[in-house]
Amino acid sequence: MVRLYDPIRIRHAKLREFAFQAAWIATVAEAASDLEDLLVDMPPADRVLPDFSTPWPWDFDSIAVARSIMTHAREAAEQDLEELVATWLGEDPENWPVLRVTLIDPWQERPGIWSEDTPEWVRALGAIAATAHETTGPFGRRPVR
């Protein structure tokens, strides 16, 4: 099995689209982690934005704001990607094996155990795809919520 390090090398159009989105998610997650490292001296309660139920505390740390925005954007992107993958998985029962053989299995030493040199975008896409697969019904349909 061929390990694909760069999403641009993926020939399957839908998988390449998913990989690009997962690469963006992984990049945003890394940037948010870097910002978190800069906030190490700040108490955990001050690292998150207020819930806006109280008057705005105009004294805030701009790095905490940036990290909060990045975290929110990443979570929204993960949810959107999960929906896209779930829809695609529901179109054909063979789509899950295609995704696994192309992107996930080459990077796993054993089922569920990633190789240490697995790119973060592959790990992100693997986790998102696994969740989408678990929530897709046995006939390729998403359960009604």
Residues with Cβ < 8 Å from 96, sequence gap 6 or more?
89, 133
pTM value?
A: 0.82
pLDDT tens track of the chain, all 145 residues?
789 899 999 999 999 999 999 999 999 999 999 988 888 887 776 666 666 666 665 567 788 888 888 999 999 999 999 999 999 999 999 999 999 999 999 999 988 899 999 999 999 999 999 999 998 765 555 544 4
- β-pairing, 108-110 vs 113-114, is antiparallel
